[in-house]
Amino acid sequence: MAIMTYAEAGKTALAEEMRRDPLVWAVGEDLGRGGVFGQYAGLIDEFGPDRISDAPISEAAIMGASVGAAMAGTRPVVEMRFADFALCAVDELVNQAAKARYMLGGQTKVPMVIREPMGMWRSSAAQHSQSLESWYTHIPGLVVAVPSTPADNKGLLKAAIRCDDPVVYFEHKNIWGLEGEVPDGDVVLPFGKARMEREGSDITIVSWSSQLHTASRAAETLAAEGVSAEVIDLRTLWPWDRDAVFASVEKTGRLLITHESVSVGGFGAEIAASVSEHLFKALKAPVRRRAAPRIPISYAPPLEDMVRVSEAQIIETVQEMMAV
Amino acid sequence: MPGTMTRNIDVERYLEHHRMMHRIRAFEEAAARANQDKLVLGAIHLSIGQEAIASGVCRNLRPTDYLLSTHRGHGHTLAKGADPTAMMSELLGREGGICQGKGGSMHIADFGVGMLGANGVVAANINIAAGAAHAIKLKGDDGVACSIFGDGAINRGPFLEGLNWAGVFKLPALFVCESNGFASTTRTDAMTSGEGAAARARSLGIPADEIDGNDIVAVDETVRAAVDAIRGGGGPRFILCSTYRLHGHTASDPAAYRRKDEVDAAWKNDPIGRCAQMLRDAGVASDDLDAQRDAAVFEMDQAYETAKAAPWPDLSLAYTDVQDIGDPRGRAF
């Protein structure tokens, strides 16, 4: 075990995988100087500029060239800098990377990792703050990962690099500096296995990425008030650990999903619908969601906070659900 | 009429081209017939009149070189070495289709001969080809990745981004523009500002040739020189091949937006007719040339008959080859 930050854990995962497999390479803007968030700092010294490759500000080319490079036998790790910028490369990701294997009758796979730093961070406003993870769960062919801790950022990134599918890998900007214990060595986490953040018996709270920590703090406060909340960190959204969520809801009879992304059409809706379809009789209260209103993210902190789901809002919702 | 002057040519090589061009023509005429028979399910885009580019480019690529094509890609795929029966079965959506009936005409591919896919999105293959070239460079191979695209593609971003990328990383990439005059059903010139594709390529530092794409000798020799230069480490090259799309945008498009005399004149410039004339001038008997044509027609008619007789694909294929992690055969809902 070592204590490291979420960013360092990602860097460690990439370095270990690049040492293990010479066909792994990373490409994106400013990577030679460490990447815009320093998540590649120093890697060029070990791996050189061909494998820690700078790129023009051409998201479509970064993504599209990586599709070709993956089909031609390498394993690119694509840095999109901000999840928002990856929208410049949606054809390359959605029409090309996600579809090639199927459309071409299984003649190829497209092993690539698309790193998309997401979420609200330092008043970055509407084009540098979005959480768009639910979009990609809608696309057959893609795997979607949303790690919340340093340990998971190492284990899931290693798994993503080894995966033969295109993996859209969302790291949250607000937790780059979050420190935690990270296992040493070659620990590769499975996709589709949730992490039990906190056990409880009264209500299940499902979350992921940075919002998981808000949910966890809310559960801590609720415990002092006598409400035992179970908090599940989904870790990956496709595949998502339905078994873990269902088992928890069968135990608690209540489900709240909270995420930073917009509530409308968010992945919380998918979870809520699945639980409603399969566990209706186990529910003691209607399934609830706490997620962002459908408004763009503002610049001024008080306006930005209007989008953020707070610990207090989660507590309030849980109390309402307990009163049903 | 151009191409009639006697040239000192390698007769065997151009007999091969003549044969290949007839195979492409015959495949597409069979496909057009299948379309009329309502057995082709989606849209098909014929390259009739553009065969010299397919044959001239692919003759100079190795099976291990990569080719990325467009929605108008039957000719490229055949010339790269794919099996016409498997291709025709794909057009009909049948078992034995080259992509298992999951792709159709616009997604034909044969990785066994380095053909990494046609593409349903105009210009999308340019960045993918640049990336395939990037992989060749990273692995230290001596291959070439080639992208063939139409003149409509030069107004999409990937034309800038992919060529710039190949130039920046000095990649072994060949970009070939089949300039057939039309972007879908609109004249490309009317929608293109400035001096066009070759000037744009040169502005990115990429050497560009501009040739008569209906002259098989010009295509063959220009591509051969470009591929040699690329394989020698010279970085990417661009070739603008002027041609004419003798049919409409799709096989169902009567192309009423152009005058008959324009099309009649274009038929007189048909690359197959020009190649045949050149070979006759070089002493090849007309009967030998006709025999190549007849063999091609027979081969492609057989391909159509075989495809027609094939059953629909097994329904279980709908769920295969989606993804390893989160495989829909485990859970798709």
pLDDT in tens, chain B (333 residues): 444 456 789 999 999 999 999 999 999 999 999 999 999 998 999 999 999 999 999 999 999 999 999 999 999 999 999 999 999 999 999 999 999 999 999 999 999 999 999 999 999 999 999 999 999 999 999 999 999 999 999 999 999 999 999 999 999 999 999 999 999 999 999 999 999 999 999 999 999 999 999 999 999 999 999 999 999 999 999 999 999 999 999 999 999 999 999 999 999 999 999 999 999 999 999 999 999 999 999 999 999 999 999 999 999 999 999 999 999 999 999
Closest chain B residue to A192 measured between Cα atoms?
B326
What pLDDT score was predicted for residue A72? 98
| Residue A113 bridge partners (DSSP) | A77, A167
Alpha helices by DSSP H, chain A = 6-20, 43-51, 59-71, 90, 100-103, 133-137, 150-162, 211-224, 242-252, 267-279, 301-304, 311-322
**Distance set, CA A50 to CA A23, A24, A55, A274, B139 (Å):** 11, 11, 11, 45, 11
Cβ of residue B127 closer than 8 Å to a chain A Cβ? yes
Q: How many CB atoms lie within 10 A of CB A185?
A: 5
CB B255 within 8 A of CB B190: no
CB A187 within 8 A of CB A155: yes
Question: Chain B, 277-296: which have a CB under 8 Å from a chain A CB?
Answer: none
Q: Sort A1 into a burial class: Cβ within 10 Å, 0-12 / 13-18 / 19+.
A: exposed
Phi, psi (degrees; rounded to nearest 5) at B118: -75, 175
**Distance set, CA A57 to CA A31, A61, A127, B272 (Å):** 12, 9, 16, 44
What single letter denotes the amino acid at residue B93? G
Residue B36 corresponds to which tokens in the numbers above?
Answer: 């009329």
ipTM over 0.85: yes
- Residue B163: in which H helix or E strand, if any? helix B157-168
A91, A104, A168: which to substitute to probe chain B, counting the most B Cβ within 10 Å?
A: A104
DSSP-derived 3-state class of residue A291: strand
- The residue to which tokens 């079965």 are assigned: B89
pTM over 0.90: yes
Chain B residues touching residue A108 (CB < 8 angstroms): 109, 111, 116
Tell me how far apart the alpha carbons of residues B179 and A47 are, in angstroms, rounded to a whole number: 42
Plot region of B178 (φ>0 → left; ψ -120 to 50 → alpha; else → beta): beta
Nearest CA distance, B12 vs chain A (angstrom): 33
pLDDT digits (tens, 9 = 90+) for A84-142: 999 999 999 999 999 999 999 999 999 999 999 999 999 999 999 999 999 999 999 99
Tell me how far apart the alpha carbons of residues B255 and B258 are, in angstroms, rounded to a whole number: 6
Q: How many CB atoms lie within 10 A of CB B82?
A: 20
Chain A residues touching residue B131 (CB < 8 angstroms): 64-72, 76
